[in-house]
Chain A
Amino acid sequence: MEADYTPTELLATVASKLLEDGKSVFVGTGLPMIAAMLAQRSHAPNLLIIFEAGGIGPRVPVLPISVGESRTFHQAVAASSMHDVMSLSQNGYLDYGFLGAAMIDPFANINTTVIGDHDHPRVRLPGSGGGNDVGSFCWRTIIMMRQEKRRFLRKVDFVTTPGYLSGPGAREAAGLPAGCGPYRVITQLGLYGFDEQTKQLELLAMHPGVTMDQIQENSEFEIKVHKDVGTTQPPTREELRLLHEIDPTGMAIGK
């Protein structure tokens, strides 16, 4: 049954459906946490959630404020360390990496460091945190972000976290672990994958009611469209109920 929903709620439910039961996911701060928790409480009860400060396999009771706080190891199988979880990631144990982003380019290189010149910044952002590590090590990285012309850029001011760098083969040439990289980008407008040949962003599906004009208007670069472009599923009432159960204060999902 369909329900009224906000763009953020849609973003969270579409993202959560990408996560498979019985797989592992390295979860970054903000919306990724809520999407992973939703997956765990719906179609993927055995989703192995891992947090950078050392939380392994928690049953997260309520949306954490931080990826290091005690909710990230509540009823976990282990409360470990950053060295442990980063080493596991570097060794190939992490199927999915789940990140937020301020700005991306067509190869899904992410900037969360600085707007303008590094040494004389117009706006200083937090930096990599665990972002670079997740984007370097996880088999498939999923990025959740707001799509606007100033965020979907031809070129980002600073490559904090590697996407496909300059194109096919560039990650391996740089020395990054082989065979991994960005898998999906989800915005309030649509769901994107990557063209196999060019490793550039490609529209896979638009959210209900979104037009192709909106998709293009909210990007500085021209967005390629997959030949079988589809429409995403709107959230169900049950998913909406779960989202607000997970985030009762509306910290990430809104009121």
Chain B
Amino acid sequence: MEILAEGQGELIGWHDPDEHRAWVRANKSRDLKDKQVTLAEAVDRYIHEGAFIAMGGFGHIRLSMAAIYEMIRQRKRHLIMCGKTGVHDADLLIASGCVDRIEVAYAFGHEMRGLSPASRRAVETGQCEVIGEVSNAGHQWRFLAAMMGVPFIPTRNMLGTDTFRYSCAKTVRDPFSGKPICLVPASYPDVVFVHVPRCDKYGNAQIDGTLIEDFQLARAARRLIITTEEIVPESKIRDQPDRTAIPFFLVDAVVEVPYGSHPCQMPYLYFFDEEHIGEWLDMSKTPEGTEAYFDKYVHGVPDFEAYLELVGGLRKVQYLKRVEQLRAPMTAPWLKRKG
């Protein structure tokens, strides 16, 4: 195929398909076994310096926040982040110094809430390097290629733009239509965390609401850690197998973490804790405030359970449940600024 243009972004997460097949054969067990561990163990075992990581969910939705806090608590360094609508996850991991390189589809912003002071500061001062741009569809089709075990997927987005020019994609002439077409390379993150509402001890995981891109991401991941609101008996999974988005043999570790997406949303279960997200957005305006946030909410508590108590405990999560179910109105400190 004739190469028409090549993006200058760094090719991250790509493996030759045969190399990946061999890696899967050697490293991914097809044995049905209990994979429950603690979060501290999972993060310690799988997150190595320089790892290329991705989080399931989207923006502030169904994120494994407990895993993010644990990475910060263990002071992981030089991680490379997949900024696939990386919002609260990317902001915290960059601000805490865990991540210093990122491939960006969307980051440094909190949608309606405004921009992210801390991670923007990190990019503008050079503390965090943007190694490539991509679009949301481009990003998830990188995972689709990886999931399919093919080196790339042809797509018709990004063409003609600087998003392409700074991506790791290539443009070729399509041998069928004769038109230029974009090829996005497969992306196999080293470690992926996906937070789900229910999962059994083997890793059979079910998702309620939109899957976003977690179906592809889970199959593209080399190491996959499931954090779950609840560990359920295997029989409950087998009663509704059509709900299973992620079967056990893709999963390396399972951790039960109730409210593990806080302060982010868990569809049908609890809403965003806007009070807490607002506190972060305020504190992260300065480097001192950023440090104070992590001292108070991460390093100042032994684990996620203690953090939940600190942010308001049962009373707070019951309120967030009512907001999610449209039984209580949403309030947010950042609304006042909008006036």
Contact assessment for A136 and B112 in the assembled complex, using a CB-CB cutoff below 8 Å: no
On whether A65 and B112 interact (CB within 8 A), knowing A70-B324, A176-B156, the answer reads yes
Q: Is the CB of B162 within 8 A of A159?
A: yes
Contact status A65-B162, CB under 8 Å: no
Q: A66-B111, A127-B133 are in contact. Are A250 and B335 (CB under 8 A)?
A: yes
Q: Are B124 and A136 in contact (CB under 8 A)?
A: no
In the bound complex, how far is the Cα of B157 from the Cα of A131, in angstroms? Answer: 10
Residues A124 and B210 in contact, CB atoms below 8 Å apart: no
A68 to B141, CA, bound (A): 18
Q: How close is B135's CB to chain A, nearest CB, in angstroms?
A: 4
Residues of A within 8 A of B130 (CB): 118-119, 124
B140 within 8 A of A: yes
B140 touches A79 (CB 8 A): no
| Residue of B with least CB distance to A113 | B133
User: Which residues of chain B are near A81, meaning CB under 8 Å?
Assistant: 210-213, 215
Whether A132 contacts B163 by the Cβ 8 Å rule is yes
Cβ contacts under 8 Å, A162 to chain B: 159-161
User: Within the complex, which residue of B136, B144, B181, B212 is in contact with A129, where a contact is CB–CB below 8 Å?
Assistant: B136
As a 0/1 sequence over residues 181 to 193 of chain A, the CB contacts with chain B under 8 angstroms (1 = contact) are: 0000000000000
Which residues on the A side are within 8 Å of B97 (C-beta)? none
Query: Which of A15-23, A141-149, A167-175, A214-222 forms part of the interface with chain B?
Result: A167-175
CB distance from B332 to the nearest CB of A (A): 7
Which listed residue, A54, A123, A125, A133, touches B135 by the CB 8 Å rule?
A: A133
Assess whether B107 is in contact with A175, with CB atoms less than 8 Å apart. no
Evaluate whether A130 and B109 lie within 8 angstroms (CB atoms) in the complex, with A137-B156, A176-B156 already known.
no
Give bound CA distance, A165 to B331, whole Å: 41
Beta-carbon contact of B179 and A175 below 8 Å: yes
CB distance from A179 to the nearest CB of B (A): 13
Q: Are A113 and B162 in contact (CB under 8 A)?
A: yes
B237 at the A/B interface (Cβ < 8 Å)?
no
- Distance in angstroms from A42 CB to nearest chain B CB is 22
Complex Cα distance A53/B156, Å?
19
Binds A, one of B29-37, B47-55, B64-72, B264-272: B264-272
Q: Does B209 contact A (CB under 8 A)?
A: yes
Q: Are A79 and B137 in contact (CB under 8 A)?
A: no
Within 147-186 of B, Cβ neighbours of A (below 8 Å) are at 155-163, 166, 171, 174, 179-182
Chain A residues touching B, majority SS = loop
8 Å CB contact of A125 from B108, B136, B155, B212: B108
Query: Cβ of A73 and Cβ of B209 under 8 Å apart?
Result: yes
Q: Most chain-B CB neighbours within 10 Å: which of A66, A250, A252? A: A66
8 A Cβ contacts from A85-144 to B: 86, 89-90, 109, 113, 118-133, 136-137
Contact among B155, B161, B330 for A161, CB-based, below 8 A: B161
Tell me if B115 counts as interface (CB < 8 A to partner A). yes
A136 adjacent to B210 (CB under 8 Å): no
B159 in contact with A83 (CB, 8 Å): no
Which residue from B123, B134, B162 sits with its C-beta under 8 Å from A124?
B123
Determine if A231 is an interface residue (Cβ-Cβ < 8 Å): no
Interface centre among A61, A70, A127, A173 (most CB of B within 10 A): A127
Which residues on the A side are within 8 Å of B60 (C-beta)?
A: 65-66, 69
Residues in A with CB closer than 8 Å to B106 are 126-130
Residues on B with beta carbons closer than 8 Å to the beta carbon of A248? 329
Task: Give residues in A with beta carbon < 8 Å to B.
Answer: 29-30, 52-55, 61-62, 65-70, 72-73, 79-83, 86, 89-90, 109, 113, 118-133, 136-137, 158-162, 165, 170-171, 173-177, 248-252, 254-255
Q: List 25 A-B contacts (CB under 8 A).
A: A65-B111, A67-B111, A68-B57, A81-B210, A81-B212, A86-B141, A90-B137, A113-B162, A126-B107, A128-B106, A128-B134, A129-B135, A129-B136, A137-B156, A159-B160, A159-B163, A160-B133, A161-B163, A162-B160, A171-B160, A173-B160, A175-B160, A176-B160, A250-B339, A252-B112
